[in-house]
Structure 1
Amino acid sequence: MGSTKYITSMGELSRKDNSLCFRRDGKNVYIPIENTKEIYCLNEVSINSKLLDFLGQNHIVVHFFNYYGGYSGTFYPKDQYMSGRLLVRQVEKFQEQRMQVAKAIVRGIGINIYEILYHYYKHNKKEVKETIDWIKKEFYGSVDQAENVKSLMSAEGELWMRFYSCFPHFLPEDFVMNKRVKRPPDNPMNAMVSFGNTLLYTKTISAIFRTHLDQRISYLHEPSEGRFSLSLDLSEVFKPVIVYRTIFDLVNNRKIQVEKHFDKKVNYCLLNDEGRKIFIEAFEGRMESVFQHLVLKRKVSYRTALKLDCYKLIKCILEDKEFKPFSLKEGY
């Protein structure tokens, strides 16, 4: 998995000379520091300040998750990419042209969901045509006509609901969800969506960290205390492309099965250890898969596409260029 390391077991993470050492059940597993950019702690992991200092020196981001697979927080090395000029312009863009950027994001979600559904329509799932037609004939118009962020997010909400309503047409019955439930997820599909969205959100945190953008100044989501709201913005258009395509592949090829890969209790449902490992491997595979970039004229991974969207936003902020988030249709 290259630059990303996942820790799925309980144990202790420490510095050992110039390497990372993860100790569990009396055994040491060494993680080379070279090329490691981010670490995911998906279980109870003990750390100390000596380790944090070492991680900070090497600019490694660490994401922590709770028992339910939910995001707890991120260790963020001292900001090495601070830019006062960009911060001022980022705030000005929020004050003066927030709706312009927010509309681009929501329109981008629609474009990518359309492409996902059109794939199934071409493969004889004609039942999705109603939603495809709605996106083309009504959704884009409602985005253009939205006068405030509230009405824009209402249009986005309807888009996701119509997308979910198409699932019974191309997924097995035991993976269909009646509605989106987040905390905690209540069925296998919600469990995978929540886990996948959180992985993507943290990938976006890592991508933004390596630019001069400020995580706190967002355009679609309200800037708020206690979360990186710009990461929520920039991850949105990639959800259909990365999270849902990963899920659909795992489910339809029976790599993930309800009876084998989930822990179900009275009011929640979670991926078990084996299920998480399968999901993470598929998710990372999707992030590293490549497509022909229309502008760069070369093959680019989705991980790189996420980073390129950060740079597109910087150009929008500093050079007033139109922000066009990643489009599955256009290939850039």
Structure 2
Amino acid sequence: MGSTRYITSMGELTRKDNSLCFRKNGKNVYIPVENTKEIYCLNEVSINSKLLDFLSRNNIVVHFFNYYEGYSGSFYPRDQYISGKLLVKQVETFNNRRLDVAKSIVKGTGNNIAEVLYHYYKHNKKEVKGTIDWIRGGFLQGIEKSNNIKQLMAAEGELWHRFYGEFKNILLDDFIMNKRVKRPPDNPINALISFGNSLLYTKTISAIYRTHLDQRISFLHEPSEGRFSLSLDISEVFKPVIVYKTIFHLVNNRKLQVAKHFQRKVNYCLLNEEGRKTFIQEFEKRLESVFAHPRLKRKVSYRTAIKLDCYKLIKFIMEDKDFVPFNLKEKI
């Protein structure tokens, strides 16, 4: 998994000399600090302040997930990259040009959803053409005419609704979704979406942490207490590219199966431990897969593409360069 470590079992995470030690069932598993950038705690994990101090000195971010596989919160060291100048300009951009940034995000999300659907259209799923045509026509035109954030959020809500409506043409019958249910997810496809979105959100938190941007000042989503709303903004255009392509691959290739990889209760449905490991493996594989970047003239991973979008936003804030989020078709 490269620089990311996932802990899926209950246990205790401690510092052992100059490395990390995860103890479960009386056995120690050692985690080298070198090259570890983030740790995911997907089960009940005990920690202490000695460990947190060690993590802080090594600039390691830790993300915590709850029983329902939803994101609970993050520990990250005091900001490595602090820029008062960028903070002031980021607030000014929010006050004066928020709508411009928000429109770019929604357009980018629409373009990437259309590109994902076009892949299935080319593979004889002709039913999706209506949604592709709507996105490339009326939807994008409507975004240009939007006068406020509320209109943009409503348009994006319809975009996702139409995208979910195409799942019946893309996925196997076991994974058909009647409607999007989040807290807690009530069926296998909702469980996959919620878990995938939470993973992407935390990947984006880690990416932003390693830039000079302020996590709290967002443009499409309302800045609010209790969450890093800029991560919601930056991750939005990558959901079709990373989360949904991961889901479609796992489901349609029967790598995830309802009877084998999920646990159901009365009002919720979750991935079991084997299901989580399967999803994480494919998610990380997609995140680390590379493409030829036409401007940089080199191969770039999707993980790096997230960070590049952060730098694009900084360029817009500081230098008034156009902010165009990642485009799956153009690979830029």
> Partners in 2 of 1:76 and 1:60 — Cα distance?
7
| Match of residue 299 from structure 1 | 299
Query: For 1:94, what is the secondary structure of its paired residue?
Result: helix
User: Equivalent residue of 1:328, what SS?
Assistant: coil
> What is the deviation of 1:80?
1.4
- Paired letter, 1:263: Q
Q: 1: distance between equivalents of 2:116 and 2:108?
A: 13
Write out per-residue CA displacement over residues 255-299 of structure 1, whole angstroms, 9 at most, x where no aligned residue: 000110000111100000000000000000000001111111111
Q: Tell me the residue number matched to 2:290.
A: 290
Query: Secondary structure at 1:87's aligned position in 2?
Result: helix
Matched, 1:139 2:139: yes
- Measure the CA separation in 2 of the matches of 1:295 and 1:156: 29
Instruction: Name the residue aligned to 1:211.
Output: 211
Within the alignment, does 1:35 sit opposite 2:38 as a pair?
no
**Aligned match of 2:9:** 9
What SS is found at the alignment partner of 2:245? Answer: helix
**Rounded Cα–Cα distance in structure 2 between residues aligned with 1:94 and 1:256:** 42
Which residue in 1 is equivalent to 2:313? 313
User: Aligned equivalents of 2:122 and 2:2: distance in 1?
Assistant: 35
Aligned with 1:29: secondary structure? strand
1:14-49 Cα distance to aligned partner (Å, 9 max, x none): 000000000010000000000000000000000000
SS for the counterpart of 2:168 is helix
Aligned residue in 2 for 1:86:
86
Q: How many residues align?
A: 332
User: Runs of 5+ in structure 2 lacking a partner?
Assistant: none
Q: Distance in 2 between matches of 1:12 and 1:216?
A: 31
Question: In structure 2, what is the equivalent of residue 173 of structure 1?
Answer: 173
* Paired amino acid for 2:80: Q
Residue 249 of structure 1 corresponds to which residue in structure 2? 249
RMSD of aligned Cα (Å): 0.5
Superposed counterparts of 1:1-332, under 5 Å? 1-332=1-332
State the alpha-carbon separation in 2 of the partners of residues 179 and 132 from structure 1. 20
Write the distance in 1 (CA, Å) between the matches of 2:293 and 2:264: 42
CA distance in 2, matches of 1:144, 1:43: 44
Instruction: State the secondary structure of the residue aligned to 2:6.
Output: strand
Offset at 1:137?
Answer: 1.4
Counterparts of 2:135 and 2:308 in 1: how far apart (Å)?
26
Cα drift, residue 187 of structure 1: 0.4
Give the letter aligned to residue 197 of structure 2: N
**Identical positions, percent:** 76
Distance 2:25 2:292 in 1: 45
Displacement of 1:4 in angstroms is 0.0
Please tell me the residue identity of whatever aligns with 1:219.
F
Distance 1:272 1:88 in 2: 45
Distance apart, 1:213 and its partner CA: 0.3
Q: Distance in 2 between matches of 1:304 and 1:153?
A: 27
The alpha-carbon deviation at position 57 of structure 1 amounts to 0.1
Q: Deviations over 1:196-224 (max 9, x none)?
A: 00000000000000000000000000000
Corresponding residue SS for 2:317? helix
Give, in whole Å, the separation in 2 of the partners of 1:325 and 1:132.
Answer: 19
Q: Which runs of 4+ in 1 moved over 4 A?
A: none
Task: State the one-letter code of the partner of 1:173.
Answer: D
TM-score, structure 2 normalization: 0.99
For 1:256 and 1:59, how far apart are their aligned partners in 2? 34
Distance 1:80 1:37 in 2: 13
Structure 2: distance between partners of 1:142 and 1:41: 41
**Distance in 2 of aligned mates of 1:328 and 1:90:** 26
CA drift of 1:136 comes to 1.3
Question: What CA distance in whole angstroms lies between the structure 1 residues aligned with 2:13 and 2:234?
Answer: 31
Deviation at 1:251, TM superposition (A): 0.3
**In the alignment, residue 162 of structure 2 is paired with which amino acid?**
R
**Structure 1 stretch 230-239 or stretch 131-140: which is displaced more?**
131-140
Q: Quick one: distance in 1 between partners of 2:113 and 2:256? A: 23
Q: Describe the superposition over 1:225-249 as per-residue Cα deviations: whole angstroms up to 9, x where unpaired.
A: 0000000000000000000000000
Counterparts of 1:35 and 1:17, CA distance in 2: 17
Deviation, structure 1 residue 159: 0.4
TM superposition score normalised by structure 1: 0.99
Q: Distance in 2 between matches of 1:189 and 1:137?
A: 29
